């Protein structure tokens, strides 16, 4: 059950000893990981604000998190265990005690595990990005049980793999260096809406004279604030990237020394790029040929002046068929003009993983040895609809009989929602959901257990 805020890093107000400020971190799945200052009066969080000492965010919070204490104290918060009494999906529940809920859940999971623990699947993602509450403490339990593992592919796996194949790592340039760039391509990112603190650096660069170009199918608020908007059709990013390469090659806006020293496969890439004239790409992308030529010219002139060009990617591009390869195509562009020579040049998709963490210490995969399951199967979270409907087979293993969902709302967000709903509606599927509020997924649960918010538990963030 949610409990009062526990103190970690605290500053006591000299005016009122009962009032404290707790230093913490935002739990949401956003590139920024903002530092938070939470005001606590008599054990109750009364205000959440940004930490001005945090260098990346400067004390600025988005509207969602600046009211996080209101979420914690919202009258619709789940505060007691609930047991389903109506059809799955009806949202009909009765309140039960913790003892009744936990005893029944434990008994049913134990019975399933006795047959085959891989019939149990934990399903979670980014409800909190905390290393402990988000992906570790539960992992220990399910490792010890021998349950199926979850492949967390729903967000950025394709893009990350594309960068690793192309650059050797998914890490790119440092975000604060964008303030020093002279040409910034905001490619597939509505930064004002979803990456507010990157936008601070982009605006600083703009004040210094940088040119900002937004490449996005939608006319977003970010596109409105850029000098140019290329409204390409969805899924045509690779065609645009190849056409830009075509123009860089045709006009010899190329860093031949960098290409020779630091790249592989240049001859093959050059051959492919020369197939994509701006006119050809324009018909695919739904934009004017002149727009492609002008952007390539901007890139080429920056190269000639030895000025840094930077690309800010985001996740939309890689969430279509062939998206990982589209990321690879775009990721080749900085190398052609030697943008990586400049600290303020190159490309950034995500800073996730910039600070390595030994997750095995938290998640304890060594506990698998005691479960009796040598190598549990792995279920792709993006195909949960198919997998819940999949029968047992020698290749697949046992049918999924139990699902424990936390930090995620798959009925609302998982692909192929028709199959997802059909899978969750199975009467023979035992489902437990841990949540703050009654979500679409919670409506299909056999038991709903209230979960703590970031203001009510300890955690570690990186």
- Type and span of the H or E element at 191: helix 191-194
Same-domain pairing of 35 and 136: no
The per-residue DSSP string of 111-128 comes to HHHHH-GGGEEEEE-SS-
Name the residue range of residue 124's domain.
82-155+355-456
Dihedral (C-alpha) 426, 428, 429, 430: value to the nearest 10 degrees? 130
Q: Are residues 237 and 122 in the same domain?
A: no
Same domain, 151 and 163: no
- Whether residue 164 lies inside any domain: the answer is yes
Last residue of a domain, one of 330, 348, 366: 348
167 belongs to a structural domain: yes
Question: Rounded distance, CA 185 to CA 333, Å?
Answer: 11
280 and 359 together in one domain: no
Angle at 304 between CA 300 and CA 305, to 5 degrees: 115
Domain end call among 304, 327, 348: 348
| Residue 1 counted as domain residue | no
Overall pTM surpassing 0.95 (yes/no) = no
d(CA 185, CA 172): 14
Give the CATH number for residue 442. Answer: 3.40.50.740
The reply to whether 164 and 139 lie within a common domain is no
Q: Are 95 and 376 in contact (CB under 8 A)?
A: no
**Both 237 and 284 in a single domain?**
yes
Of 175, 204, 303, the C-alpha closest to 248 is 303
Per-residue pLDDT 10s for the chain (462 aa) are 333 333 345 555 556 668 899 998 888 888 778 888 999 998 899 999 999 998 888 888 888 888 889 999 999 999 999 999 999 999 999 999 999 999 999 999 999 999 999 999 999 988 888 888 887 778 888 888 899 999 888 888 888 889 999 999 888 899 999 999 999 999 999 998 888 889 999 999 999 999 999 999 999 999 999 999 999 999 999 999 999 999 999 999 999 999 999 999 999 999 999 999 999 999 999 999 999 999 999 999 999 999 999 999 988 888 888 889 999 999 999 999 999 999 999 999 987 777 788 888 888 888 888 888 878 899 998 999 999 999 999 999 999 999 999 999 999 999 999 999 999 999 999 999 999 999 999 999 999 999 999 888 888 887
439 phi/psi in degrees, rounded to 5: -95, 175
Whether residue 288 sits in one domain with residue 426: no
Integer Cα distance of 104 and 101 in angstroms = 5
**Does 172 share its domain with 149?**
no
Residues 150 and 179 in one domain: no
395 and 429 co-located in one domain? yes
Q: Is residue 290 one of the residues assigned to a domain? A: yes
In a domain, residue 3? The reply is: no
Count of domains observed in the chain? 3
Domain with 52 in it: what CATH number?
2.20.25.90
The three-class DSSP label of residue 288 is coil
Report the CATH number that the domain containing residue 295 is assigned in CATH.
3.40.228.10
Q: Which of 43, 72, 101 is the last residue of a domain?
A: 72
Per-residue tokens: 31: 């590139």
Token pair 């949202």 is found at: 91
Residues 415 and 305 in one domain: no
Q: What is the DSSP letter of 90?
A: S
- Six-digit token string for 189: 């990112």
Whether residue 66 is found in the same domain as residue 91 = no
């Amino acid at each position: 059950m949610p409990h009062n805020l526990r103190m970690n890093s605290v500053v006591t107000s000299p005016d009122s000893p009962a009032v404290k400020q707790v230093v913490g971190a935002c739990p949401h799945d956003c590139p920024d990981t903002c530092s938070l200052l939470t005001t606590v009066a008599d054990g109750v969080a009364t205000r959440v604000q940004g930490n001005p000492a945090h260098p990346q965010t400067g004390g600025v919070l988005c509207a969602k998190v600046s009211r996080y204490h209101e979420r914690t104290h919202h009258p619709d918060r789940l505060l007691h265990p609930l047991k389903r009494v109506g059809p799955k999906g009806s949202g009909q529940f009765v309140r039960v005690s913790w003892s009744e809920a936990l005893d029944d859940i434990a008994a049913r999971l134990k019975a399933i595990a006795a047959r085959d623990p891989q019939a149990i699947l934990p399903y979670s993602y980014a409800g909190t990005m905390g290393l402990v509450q988000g992906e570790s403490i539960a992992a220990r339990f399910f490792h010890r049980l021998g349950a199926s593992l979850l492949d967390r592919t729903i967000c950025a796996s394709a893009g990350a793999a594309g960068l690793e194949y192309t650059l050797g790592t998914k890490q790119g340039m440092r975000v604060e260096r964008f303030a020093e760039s002279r040409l910034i391509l905001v490619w597939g990112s509505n930064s004002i809406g979803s990456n507010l603190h990157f936008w601070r650096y982009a605006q600083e660069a703009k004040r210094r004279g940088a040119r900002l170009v937004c490449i996005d199918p939608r006319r977003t608020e970010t596109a409105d604030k850029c000098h140019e908007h290329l409204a390409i059709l969805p899924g045509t990013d690779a065609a645009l990237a190849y056409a830009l390469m075509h123009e860089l090659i045709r006009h010899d806006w190329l860093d031949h020394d960098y290409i020779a020293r630091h790249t592989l496969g240049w001859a093959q890439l050059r051959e492919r790029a020369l197939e994509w004239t701006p006119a050809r790409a324009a018909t695919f992308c739904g934009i004017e040929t002149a727009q492609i030529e002008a952007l390539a010219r901007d890139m080429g002139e920056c190269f000639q002046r030895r000025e840094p060009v930077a690309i800010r990617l985001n996740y939309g591009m890689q969430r279509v068929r062939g998206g990982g390869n589209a990321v690879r195509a775009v990721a080749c562009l900085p190398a052609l003009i030697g943008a990586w020579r400049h600290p303020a040049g190159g490309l950034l998709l995500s800073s996730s993983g910039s600070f390595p963490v030994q997750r095995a210490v938290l998640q304890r995969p060594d506990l698998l040895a005691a479960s009796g399951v040598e190598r549990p199967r792995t279920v792709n979270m993006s195909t949960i609809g198919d997998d819940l409907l999949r029968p047992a087979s020698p290749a697949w293993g046992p049918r999924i009989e139990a699902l424990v969902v936390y930090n995620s709302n798959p009925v609302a967000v998982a692909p192929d929602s028709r199959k997802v709903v059909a899978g969750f509606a199975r009467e023979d599927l035992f489902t437990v959901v841990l949540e703050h509020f009654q979500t679409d997924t919670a409506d299909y649960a056999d038991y709903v257990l209230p979960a703590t918010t970031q203001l009510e538990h300890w955690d570690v963030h990186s």
